[in-house]
Amino acid sequence: MKFSFRWYGVDDKVKLEYIKQIPQMQSIVTAVYDVPVGEVWSNESISKLKATVEAAGLGFDVIESVPVHEDIKLGKDTRDKYIANYKENIRRLGKAGIKCICYNFMPVFDWTRTQLDKELEDGSTALVYYPEQLAAMDPLTGELALPGWDSSYTKESMKVVFDEYAKVDKEQLWSNLEYFLKEIIPVAEESGVVMAIHPDDPPFDIFGLPRIITNEENLDRFLKLVDSPANGLTLCTGSLGCVASNNIYNMIDKYSKMGRIHFMHVRNVKWLENNGFEESAHYSDCGSLDMVKIMEILYKNGFDGYIRPDHGRMIWGETGRPGYGLYDRALGVSYLTGILETLKKLGNK
């Protein structure tokens, strides 16, 4: 498996030279961030990003993400224009050497947390999801600025898009996703790129908006929409694993054996009541997920895709983008590589 690290470009407080110093780190996960959703990324921007990453001695292999325009998810008449742009982005990224593109199909909001700086018992701060906090939020009236949410929406435009989604149930969203996949997967195949959908985070409806990439049954359905090796998964342990009803170990075993996991996001969460959760340190004893078991399944099944430590706490006084500090993620990947080294040595006896 190829270890990678999320990096948000030249304005990221986490510098590439720091990431390079993490043992076993091979690849950077990044994107072009200065182009509006739905537009074509310039070859110049892609080439500049590639040159910057490779100058630091790291691989330029994974893009996270090429966002899907809301008109595609809504199935509007304008979607073909945005799908054409999406296909061109796949072609350009493939020519630049990108092997894997991560994306999601979550309506309006990307990954959702209700607090960015919850202080844990050890004094670190973490991202958390408390249902009672979400119940007090109203995206149509409040000033919301949580990570993963598109800050370009005004109150007026947010109301418009919510009104549009009132006409889209889960079956319609499935239909719109199928339409999108049937258009882009052949282009990905031709470009030598695999597409890896990220599960909904958290994996249940929020604010009345439908979410469909949520559990094993739905992942099975997704993979059958276009049965191609290029149509695969970003299997995020913290997204799917934040609810106890999802057997994350069975899913990792099943889909890695099928060769349909192209990208692993590995992190731990602590389950709370009513589908609430707190993000924790990666270590098994700190959360509700068994990281050793997760890595053992991947190793046993010969997983050779990309893997990255996902969200981390803020520790040792670090400040910056919530969930994406350097220190805790570096500890996390060191823990994961330590597990893998142990598995390899035990497996060779």
- Residues belonging to the active site: 198, 236, 265, 310-311, 324
Helix (H) or strand (E) holding 107: none
- C-alpha 94/C-alpha 279 separation (Å) is 34
Burial class (CB within 10 angstroms; exposed 0-12, middle 13-18, buried 19+) of 81: middle
Residues 6 or more apart whose CB falls under 8 angstroms from that of 12 comprise 320, 321, 324
- The two tokens of residue 55 are 């100058």
3 state DSSP class of 288: coil
**61 pairs with which residues across the strands?**
none
Q: Do residues 247 and 239 make contact, with C-beta atoms less than 8 angstroms apart?
A: no
- C-alpha 9/C-alpha 321 separation (Å) is 12
Is the omega angle on the peptide bond into residue 203 within 30 degrees of 0, that is, cis?
Answer: no
Question: CA nearest 289: which of 298, 297, 276, 280?
Answer: 280
- The two tokens of residue 24 are 């076993």
Strand residue runs (E) in the chain: 2-6, 27-30, 59-64, 100-103, 115-119, 125-129, 194-197, 231-236, 261-266, 269-271, 277-279, 306-309
Q: Which residue has the tokens 């948000």?
A: 8
> In this structure, what are the phi and psi dihedrals at residue 79, rounded to the nearest 5 degrees?
-65, -35
Question: CA nearest 194: which of 236, 231, 234?
Answer: 231
